[in-house]
Structures are given as C-alpha cells and as structure tokens.
C-alpha cells in the first residue's frame, strides 16, 4: 500500500526528529524512518556514551591523584569495575534515547517507521515492503566507522568506536590506529581505566588540523599519563599472534610491529549513503559518498535535502542540529534565508585538558593570506588552572589585523570546552576583538584571561 505524506524524514539522528516534529507542529503529515536506534550516533555510539565513560575515567584519575591535593587515599584501593562503568553508561544512553523516542512517537501527525529506507524514485521510498511518497524528503542518515582495507583485517577481531562501547572487559593493552579526535578520547579514557595504550598515527604529529604547539601540548599531556604515541607510523597490516593482535607499521623509528590485546580502528567515518538508493532518486554524491548540498542544504534534486554528517559539511552533533535549524528556518520562518556559510566552525576535543576550538587556526589564517595578530598565554599563567592543579595547555586567539575581527581561537586547558564560547559569541556578533577585550569576566576563571590576552596581541 502506498502512503503519502507532506514530508518524509530518513534517519532519526540529530536533525531528523526535530525537523519531523516541526512539520507536525505546522499541521503537516510527516513520516520519520529509523532503521536502528533513535538518537543515532550521538546518543547511542558517540557523544553521550563517550562523555559518560570519560566522566568515569576522570573519577579514577582524580582518585589516583588525591594525594597531590592533600587527600589521603591508598592508590592501590582505586579499582575500576568495568561492568559498573558500562552499566552507568547504558543507563544514561538509554534514558536519553527513550526520551527522544517517546517525544517523536508521541507527536501528533508524525508516523514512525522502524526499518531501512531506500529511494525508489525522487518522490518515493520503500521501507519494509511499504512504499511512502512525498514531495519533500529530508535525508539524515549519518555515518559509521570507516574500516580500512588492511591486509589481514578479515582474520582479526578489531574494535571500532561503536563496538568498543559494548566491551565490558578492560583491555590489557589497547592499540589504537588513528591519533585524531575519536582515537585520542578513547586513548585517555582507557589509560585511566587501567589499560596500557598505544596510539599509532601515520602523520608526523597528532591532530594535523590543529596548530603545532596545540597538538604538541596534547601529546605531552597524554604521554604524561603513560600513553605510548607512535608518530609517523602507518599501519599497513593486522595479524593475530595467539590471543594478541599485531599492527605492522611502516616507520622510520621504533619497532615495525606493535602488539596489544585489542585493537581499535579510529581512522575516520563513512557516510551511510551507499544503501539508500540515491541513484534511483538522482541525488548526487561526492567521491567520498557525501551527499552534495547547496548553502541551504538542498541536494541537486528539487524537494530533497540532506542534513547532518551525511552531507560532509560538519561532523558534529551541533552541526547536524544547526542543519535542522537552517532548513526549518528557511521552510517555516521569515524572509531572511539562513545559510550554511553563516556557520562558524567550532568543536571540542574532550581529552583532559579539553581543547575548545573556533574558526581558523593561526596556520590556516596565514595560509589564507590574512595579516594577523595573535595573543597567547600558557595555562601555567592562569590562576584558576594553578588553583585546580591543572596547568597543562595554552590559550591562543587569532585576530585579523585589518578588520580587528577575531578569526579563530584554540583554548587547550581546564574548562576550555566552556570558555571557548565567549569567543564564539563575539565572532558570531561580528564585533571587534576590543569588545571582548573591554568586557569584565569573573575571577577566578579561565575565561577572565581572554580579555587580557586580547590586550597583548603581537603580529604573526
């Protein structure tokens, strides 16, 4: 039987449910199709479980350091119960998913389909043998961990960022292929749980998109906790050695064999666009499988939009949600169009200390031809960091010397994931850096030093 809707949303991740509810609230009939779990990657296999586990790992870390703060606790008494850690994560993830599912299932005018959606044409999709038609489709299918085609991989029990979240045992030695955002969060988390951890990164440094001194400071912080980092080591093969797993690497230094009890592949993500029947609808994708969109998230086929990770314009929950806001505003609100290019890129890396990032790095600003002035300060010169005993990292703000607008910032330090927002907001307001420089911030905080460093800019 064919069913016709005013709008059909494919995928119940971070953009789809809000958009479906928005249609329903406007009195339109809408269908939302989810093949696995509502909440998508963020709730089930991304932000929520990792930040929940990171919180447990942080408690273990703090307890081991209690003596440094004058609190006596036998270090040997700190034991991590991975089953309990896992159960806590499941509770928090489950509550988040249930709240979302109840919301969407309880929405009038919104019909939920649980199954895999596939385009039959530009105006119809099939799901579990049913055909649904509409003049408007919104694709929010997200992505999944990329599995590299290493020789031997088919014979090896490897972990991904998704399957590692289900592991209830503590790996004796976790080898992580990939020294970028996802890999590093897991590296520190598992080190704090008690595993030996080795990170293999093919580039000569971690986090190649960040400024050199920022990446170096993160490396120093991770190594200080006992994480082994192998840079310039390209994994080319995986093999079992008894119960262990060995990664064979091409490298100019160190052993070409890195062996551990478990191996995590954290080498990027692939959009879920290969099994969506996009060719039947005529929707174009790029060489990596991302759906091509314009500045308002429209695909090349009229009446079909793509939101979230599957369009390759962002890789975060906040970018997926912002995609929803852009599409919804342009469909339901006033005349001023909201556009993708108005979005200021920002994100955090949730290691300790966290990295808060917005806009351009110093290197990228120079590469783009800006004349820049830079203000920076090590966290050793931030009173709140010293008081907390967490002085690793640095703060750095990049300003356009001609316009006085802030081009970007990196804050690596305690509280950086929150402190970065004062810079994001000033950039969004398109106010000159002097507005922030002359703003009084609360003492003692990390944020109070942002006006100070803006008063100490030097040409770069």
Ligand X SMILES: Cc1cc2nc3c(=O)[nH]c(=O)nc-3n(C[C@H](O)[C@H](O)[C@H](O)COP(=O)(O)OP(=O)(O)OC[C@H]3O[C@@H](n4cnc5c(N)ncnc54)[C@H](O)[C@@H]3O)c2cc1C
Residue numbers at the binding site for ligand X (CB under 6 A): 10-15, 33-37, 40-42, 45-47, 50, 116-117, 140-143, 161, 182, 272, 276, 308-309, 315-318, 320, 350
CB of 278 to ligand X, least distance (A): 10
Nearer to ligand X, 295 or 387 (CB): 295
CB of 51 to ligand X, least distance (A): 6
CB of 111 to ligand X, least distance (A): 14
DSSP character at residue 15: S
Nearer to ligand X, 350 or 370 (CB): 350
Nearer to ligand X, 140 or 180 (CB): 140
Tally: H helices and E strands in the chain = 13, 24
Cα separation, 70 vs 73, whole angstroms: 9
CB of 44 to ligand X, least distance (A): 7
CB 286 within 8 A of CB 312: yes
Cα separation, 340 vs 313, whole angstroms: 8
Residue 107: phi and psi, rounded to 5, are -90, 125
Q: Which residues are catalytic?
A: 443
Q: Which helix (H) or strand (E) holds 34?
A: strand 30-34
Nearer to ligand X, 39 or 375 (CB): 39
CA-based R_g, the chain, Å: 24
CB of 127 to ligand X, least distance (A): 7
For strands 406-412 and 394-400, give the pairing.
Answer: antiparallel
Identify the CA nearest to 427 among candidates 325, 341, 358. 358
In sequence order, what are the residues at sequence separation of 6 or more whose Cβ sits closer than 8 angstroms to the Cβ of residue 217? 392, 393, 394, 412
Nearer to ligand X, 12 or 178 (CB): 12
CB 84 within 8 A of CB 56: no
CB of 216 to ligand X, least distance (A): 23
**Beta partners for residue 126, in sequence order:** 118, 131
Strand, coil or helix: 262: strand
Nearer to ligand X, 41 or 228 (CB): 41
* Interhelix angle 181-193/47-64, nearest 10 degrees: 40
């Amino acid at each position: 039987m064919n069913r016709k809707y005013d709008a059909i949303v494919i995928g119940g991740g971070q953009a789809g449910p809000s958009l479906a509810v928005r249609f329903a609230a406007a009195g339109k009939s809408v269908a939302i199709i989810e093949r696995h779990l509502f909440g998508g990657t963020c709730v089930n296999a991304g932000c929520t479980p990792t930040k929940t586990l990171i919180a447990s790992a942080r408690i273990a870390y703090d307890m081991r350091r209690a003596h440094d703060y004058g609190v006596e606790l036998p270090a040997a008494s700190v034991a991590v119960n991975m089953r309990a850690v896992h159960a806590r994560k499941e509770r928090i993830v489950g509550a988040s998913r249930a709240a979302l599912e109840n919301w969407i299932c309880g929405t009038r005018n919104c019909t939920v389909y649980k199954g895999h959606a596939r385009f039959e044409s530009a105006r119809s999709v099939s799901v579990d043998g049913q055909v649904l038609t509409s003049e408007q489709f919104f694709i929010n299918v997200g992505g999944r961990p990329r599995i590299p085609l290493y020789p031997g991989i088919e014979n090896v029990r490897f972990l991904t960022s998704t399957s590692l979240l289900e592991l209830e045992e503590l790996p004796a030695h976790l080898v992580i292929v990939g020294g970028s955002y996802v890999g590093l969060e897991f590296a520190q988390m598992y080190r704090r749980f008690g595993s030996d951890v080795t990170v293999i990164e093919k580039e000569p440094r971690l986090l190649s998109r960040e400024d050199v001194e920022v990446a170096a400071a993160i490396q120093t912080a991770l190594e200080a906790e006992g994480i082994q980092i192998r840079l310039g080591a390209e994994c080319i093969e995986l093999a079992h050695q008894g119960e262990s797993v060995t990664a064979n690497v091409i490298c100019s230094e160190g052993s070409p064999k890195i062996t551990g009890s478990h191996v995590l592949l954290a080498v990027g993500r692939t959009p879920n666009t290969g099994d969506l029947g996009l060719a039947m609808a005529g929707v174009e994708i790029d060489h990596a499988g991302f759906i091509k969109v314009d500045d308002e998230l429209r695909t090349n086929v009229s009446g079909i939009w793509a939101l979230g990770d599957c369009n390759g314009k962002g890789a975060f929950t906040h970018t997926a949600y912002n995609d929803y806001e852009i599409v919804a505003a342009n469909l339901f609100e006033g005349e001023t169009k909201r556009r993708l290019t108005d979005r200021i890129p920002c994100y955090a890396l949730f290691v300790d200390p966290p990295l808060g990032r917005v806009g351009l790095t110093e290197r990228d600003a120079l590469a783009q031809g800006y004349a820049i002035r830079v203000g920076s300060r090590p966290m050793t010169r931030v009173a709140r960091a010293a008081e907390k005993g967490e002085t690793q990292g640095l703060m750095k703000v990049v300003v356009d010397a001609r316009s006085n607008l802030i081009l970007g910032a990196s804050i690596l330090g305690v509280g950086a994931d929150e402190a970065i927002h004062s810079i994001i907001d000033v950039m969004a307001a398109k106010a000159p850096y002097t507005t922030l420089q002359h703003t009084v911030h609360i003492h003692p905080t990390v944020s109070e030093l942002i006006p100070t460093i803006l008063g100490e800019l030097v040409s770069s």
